[in-house]
Structure 1
Amino acid sequence: MPAATMDEVVALAKRRGLIFPASEIYGGIANTYDYGHYGVLLKRNVIDEWWRAMVFERDDIVALDSAIIQHPRTWEASGHLAGFTDPLVQCLGKCKRRFRLDHLQEEAEARGEDPAKVVCPVCGGELSEPRAFNLMFETTIGPVQEAGAAVYLRPETAQGIFLDFKQTLQYARKRPPFGIAQVGKSFRNEITPGNFIFRTLEFEQMEMEFFVPPDEAGKWYDYWRQERLDWYARLGISRERLRLREHTLEELSHYSSGTADVEYLYPIGWSELEGVANRGDFDLTQHAKFSGEKLEWKDPQTGKGYVPHVIEPAAGVGRTILALLCEAYDTDELGGEERTVLRLHPSVAPVKVAVLPLLRKAGHPEVAREVYESLRTRMSAEYDDGGAIGRRYRRQDEIGTPYAVTIDHQTIEDRTVTLRDRDSLTQERVPIAELADELGRRVTNRTPA
């Protein structure tokens, strides 16, 4: 079963300033969201963990940050201009809303209904004939619209990597197998069914293209399928709610010889977290054809070259965050009252430790500030002296803070503090002099997946 309902996660995210609708004072824009303070910290931690796994703990992948606006020919070569479309239908009844036909048909099949007889899910009205619309946002370069000035906001980060393949070969001193990784915004003008941040108009991708000798593509495809599944487990997601789903022949893109989705059991059902695709040599071959540049690797010893094949693990930051929130959301009973808690893994928790002075009498705030200042240079820490201690604990539990440090009477006497664990609720005395090191060990401890 899913770990939480979507309504519970959405309500907590808004209440605690993680994620909330964008432009809300003007009524909002469908499927756009802002990240508050704790959401920003959570997002940054997720991205940092991805960079750690992809670049900092390996020596065969380099980083890139390519431009959002690429030359228009990029999207001709990649096939996005001609084929990046969705089937759009409009309700002919009362509500006049628009929907993606394929989404309505998938939902009908899941309910055991005939997908050829779908109607408007809002008012039950008849639907129009489907028409194709391109998902890319178009804009213009320069102060006026004129022929030849049309450009597009990128719908994926991958193409920038392929455009910079030759440049990267020249400076990075790498040879296949090696990868190029980047994190960045992408934009798709999708008709979306809601579901919070699962599918949005602008989103961040964590994408890596791994260039391999053609005869090694199958081996590396298997490797990256398992490696990416394990990464989510290391972030604290239960393997019972993770799976690898291989695409059928009918689902495969024309250039792919194999694609698998890492799926998570969201409240909306099993859905894609990340795709891992064996893209062959399609992308480099296409860009070589359209640009006139040779995009291949040559052996400096023999002079022989080849166009590498590409294995692509492509993940969404928003979908990863949503999975982590759904997985971490929990309730229990404490002191006769229900407690809501986000059991986030310490590596991604927005705040690692909260410092809570028990009293405001002389000595307590000063020592608490001293402890806080000693911790904040080592990890994300928060000082909280507002309200009763129980209320402060609940506040920190709801944003996922794994540890809380309480300064009390005994602290003034012997320079020890109470260290509280969010999940076990155990409390132990720790000397202030040893606190930073102890928390450092706990926060950075990564158990094998």
Structure 2
Amino acid sequence: MSAPHPVTVSLDTLASLAKRRGFVYPGSEIYGGLANTWDFGPLGAELKRNIKQAWWEFFIQRREDMVGLDGGILLHPRVWEASGHVAEFNDPLIDCRNCKSRFRADTFVEERLGISAEGLSVEELTRLIEEYQPACPVCGQRNWTPVRRFNLMFKTFIGPVEEQSAQVYLRPETAQAIFVNFKQVLQSSRQKIPFGIGQIGKAFRNEITPGNFIFRLLEFEQMEIEYFIRPESWEAAFEHWLAEMGQFFARIGLRAERLRLREHSPHELSHYSKRTVDYEYLFPFGWKELAGLAYRTDYDLRRHQEYSGEDLSYFDQERNERFIPHVIEPTMGVERLFLALLVDAYDEEPAVDVNGKPYTRVVLRFHPRIAPYKAAVLPLMRKPELVEKARAVAALLRNHFMIEYDETQSIGRRYRRQDEIGTPYCITIDYQTLDDDTVTIRDRDTMAQDRVAISALPHVLAERLGYGA
């Protein structure tokens, strides 16, 4: 259901549509807002739910070698020492000495100097800023501190006393809950290697320069898998999961021409990774990471075994061999995928209304699998007999699909509203409906209409929406 030639849309246009139509609202807006926080409205909540459901069905439900987990946000602080996050989870930070504004140094160098900063050290970033002396975008001065490392984990305290012994962290990733529960999951699920554990959950990062609408957030949801393997099979497993991720993107309707793969160079790799490949997406602000695939070796289980004293090895009965499993990690963020789907679905085309007046038709061409509403039920006019019948049809369909009922304004305006929020089908109840119990189904993308019996409507809609495919 995708348009063959998508338009280029600005981030401001998307943010405006998202707010107006109930996808995404600025956080705490009645109090003047809270920088870089966002709330997801009725349509946004549905789109997020559909993204997560599609991910769970594709990666967990359909595979016999996968199980799920819902780990806690707060973990023992030693978890983050073992994982390396206390020592390694840092971004380069720079301050303007004049106005005290703070910036992420690598992003600042790329945006202000036009120099690629991938993998540059703190010393190299400092040297570039000292050499070129860029002006502060806030106050215009050129008086900078040296670049230093800034840990991205949010800290809080357990109990009434704020002291070091009570300090804990809001998790910056969901993966560690999987690793610390590896042994219990293995015993209770009776899985054998290779197998994976997946989960969806909130993560928190004290980003220095979040932005680009919902692309980089302080609070976000991750969809992560840790797939446990024998060490010698990692290359085949890596290619398998790279292909699986690509198939998932196709399944939810992302355009292949907006996706590309980028291999991390050795100096870019995270402290736990031996190989990382990103799926990048062409956002309005350029090619940026959409999802990542990392080969974490046995780093995490080995470190947690060392720090906890718990045996986290695996015994292979067939080979009579004990070893610490290695891990392949496919990961993607819900909100970042949400933004990519918005960009991907947005389309404009010239149209003419019933009065012959030209207008620009805005359409979100979501794949039916992730569209917030699957159908809208619309009485042709706000007449009691049509409204009564339309509400009965809506009640019937709510047993099967997420739908919307709308009886306000002209039918043309209601069609346009449903186009703009990405509803695949509109079902119109007219006076013929009262005579023969049929309704009109209008296709969002082609605008073609045909009539269907109300009794067959759930089945016909399920078929057109691709349910079960």
TM-score, normalised with respect to structure 1: 0.96
How much has 1:54 moved relative to structure 2?
A: 1.0
What is the correspondence of 1:414-425 to structure 2 with a 5 Å cutoff?
414-425=436-447
State the distance in 1 between where 2:9 and 2:128 align: 29
Residue equivalent to 2:73: 68
SS in 2 for 1:41: helix
Q: Answer yes or no: is the 8 Å Cα contact 1:229–1:242 preserved in 2.
A: no
State the distance in 1 between where 2:247 and 2:299 align: 28
Q: Answer yes or no: is the 8 Å Cα contact 2:7–2:347 preserved in 1.
A: no
SS in 2 for 1:305: strand
How much has 1:438 moved relative to structure 2?
A: 0.6
CA deviations 1:131-182 (Å, max 9, x no partner) are: 2221111111111123411111000000000000000010111111100000
Q: Answer yes or no: is the 8 Å Cα contact 1:418–1:428 preserved in 2.
A: yes
State the distance in 2 between where 1:327 and 1:135 align: 30
Residue equivalent to 1:92: 97
State the distance in 2 between where 1:352 and 1:122 align: 45
CA gap of 1:320–1:396, structure 2 versus 1, over 3 A, is same
SS in 2 for 1:128: coil
Residue equivalent to 1:59: 64
State the distance in 1 between where 2:166 and 2:97 align: 36
What is the correspondence of 1:30-49 to structure 2 with a 5 Å cutoff?
30-49=35-54
Residue equivalent to 1:261: 278
State the distance in 1 between where 2:244 and 2:277 align: 12
After alignment, is 126-135 or 369-378 more displaced? 126-135
Q: Answer yes or no: is the 8 Å Cα contact 1:175–1:297 preserved in 2.
A: no
Match of 1:434 among 432, 439, 456: 456
Residue equivalent to 1:345: 367
CA gap of 1:184–1:334, structure 2 versus 1, over 3 A, is same
CA deviations 1:305-362 (Å, max 9, x no partner) are: 1111100011000000000001111111221111211111111111000000012334
Residue equivalent to 2:422: 400
After alignment, is 297-306 or 99-108 more displaced? 297-306
Residue equivalent to 1:157: 174
Residue equivalent to 1:285: 302
SS in 1 for 2:214: helix
Residue equivalent to 2:136: 120
State the distance in 2 between where 1:304 and 1:193 align: 47
State the distance in 2 between where 1:272 and 1:79 align: 22
After alignment, is 334-343 or 122-131 more displaced? 122-131
- Asked if 1:318 is matched to 2:335, the reply is yes
Q: Answer yes or no: is the 8 Å Cα contact 1:18–1:37 preserved in 2.
A: yes
State the distance in 2 between where 1:213 and 1:166 align: 16
Residue equivalent to 2:381: 359
How much has 1:370 moved relative to structure 2?
A: 1.4
CA RMSD after TM alignment: 1.8
State the aligned residue count: 446
- Asked if 1:177 is matched to 2:203, the reply is no
How much has 1:276 moved relative to structure 2?
A: 0.2
After alignment, is 352-361 or 119-128 more displaced? 119-128
CA gap of 1:290–1:228, structure 2 versus 1, over 3 A, is same
Q: Answer yes or no: is the 8 Å Cα contact 2:110–2:116 preserved in 1.
A: no
State the distance in 2 between where 1:168 and 1:112 align: 43
How much has 1:302 moved relative to structure 2?
A: 5.4
State the distance in 2 between where 1:196 and 1:446 align: 34
Residue equivalent to 1:373: 395
State the distance in 2 between where 1:51 and 1:40 align: 16
CA gap of 1:323–1:2, structure 2 versus 1, over 3 A, is farther
Q: Answer yes or no: is the 8 Å Cα contact 2:228–2:328 preserved in 1.
A: yes
Corresponding letter in the other structure for 1:411:
T
SS in 2 for 1:405: strand
After alignment, is 167-176 or 144-153 more displaced? 144-153
Corresponding letter in the other structure for 2:368:
P
Residue equivalent to 1:105: 109
Q: Answer yes or no: is the 8 Å Cα contact 1:18–1:40 preserved in 2.
A: yes
Q: Answer yes or no: is the 8 Å Cα contact 1:2–1:266 preserved in 2.
A: no
State the distance in 1 between where 2:164 and 2:435 align: 78
CA gap of 1:289–1:82, structure 2 versus 1, over 3 A, is same
State the distance in 2 between where 1:154 and 1:201 align: 12
Q: Answer yes or no: is the 8 Å Cα contact 2:262–2:280 preserved in 1.
A: yes
State the distance in 1 between where 2:227 and 2:402 align: 33
CA deviations 1:389-430 (Å, max 9, x no partner) are: 111111111111110000011111111111001111101111
State the distance in 1 between where 2:325 and 2:433 align: 62
SS in 2 for 1:206: strand
Q: Answer yes or no: is the 8 Å Cα contact 2:441–2:452 preserved in 1.
A: yes
Q: Answer yes or no: is the 8 Å Cα contact 2:7–2:346 preserved in 1.
A: no
Corresponding letter in the other structure for 2:93:
L
How much has 1:278 moved relative to structure 2?
A: 0.5
Corresponding letter in the other structure for 1:395:
R
How much has 1:364 moved relative to structure 2?
A: 1.0
What runs of 5+ residues in structure 2 fail to find an aligned partner?
Answer: 1-5, 118-126, 353-357
CA deviations 1:98-155 (Å, max 9, x no partner) are: 1100111233464789954244234432232222221111111111123411111000
Corresponding letter in the other structure for 2:26:
P
SS in 1 for 2:409: coil
State the distance in 2 between where 1:302 and 1:214 align: 14
Corresponding letter in the other structure for 1:370:
A
What runs of 5+ residues in structure 1 fail to find an aligned partner?
Answer: none
Q: Percent identity?
A: 53
State the distance in 2 between where 1:170 and 1:213 align: 18
How much has 1:446 moved relative to structure 2?
A: 7.9
Residue equivalent to 1:232: 249
State the distance in 2 between where 1:247 and 1:34 align: 33
